[in-house]
Amino acid sequence: MKAQVLSLCLVLSAYAGYSQTTYIFQPDSCNGKDATVFVKVDLPEWSDKNFGQRDEISASGWTYGGQGGGEGYSRIFIDFDGLKSIPRGVAITSATLSLYGKTSSVFIKQGNAGENDCFIERVTGPWDESTLTWNNKPTTTNEHQTVLPGSKGVQWKYNADVDVTMLVQDMTDLPAESSHGFCIALQGEDYYRNLLFASSEHIDPSLRPKLTVTFNLCNPAARRTATTGVADNPPVITPLPIKKAASTVKARGTAGQPRKEEAEIGEIPMEGVQNP
pLDDT tier for residue 24 given thresholds of 50, 70 and 90: very high
The arithmetic mean of pLDDT across residues 224-232, rounded, is: 42
CB 89 within 8 A of CB 218: no
- The pLDDT value recorded for residue 19 is 75
pLDDT tier for residue 111 given thresholds of 50, 70 and 90: very high
- The pLDDT value recorded for residue 254 is 37
DSSP state of 40: E
- The pLDDT value recorded for residue 219 is 54
Least confident of 49-58, 129-138, 179-188, 251-260: 251-260
- The pLDDT value recorded for residue 218 is 66
**Mean pLDDT over all residues of the chain?**
81
Answer whether residue 197 shows pLDDT above 80. yes
Q: What is the pTM of this model?
A: 0.75
The SS3 call for residue 259 is coil
CB 274 within 8 A of CB 28: yes
Question: CA distances (Å), 180 to each of 6, 81, 138, in order?
Answer: 46, 8, 9
Answer whether residue 214 shows pLDDT above 80. yes
Nearest to 229 by CA among 95, 110, 62: 95
Give start and end residues of each alpha helix (H) in 155-203.
165-173
The H-or-E segment that residue 74 falls in is: strand 71-79
Least confident of 12-21, 34-43, 50-59: 12-21
Answer whether residue 236 shows pLDDT above 50. no
Report the amino acid identity of residue 258. P
The whole-angstrom separation of Cα 13 and Cα 5 is 12
Least confident of 5-9, 28-32, 85-89, 138-142: 5-9
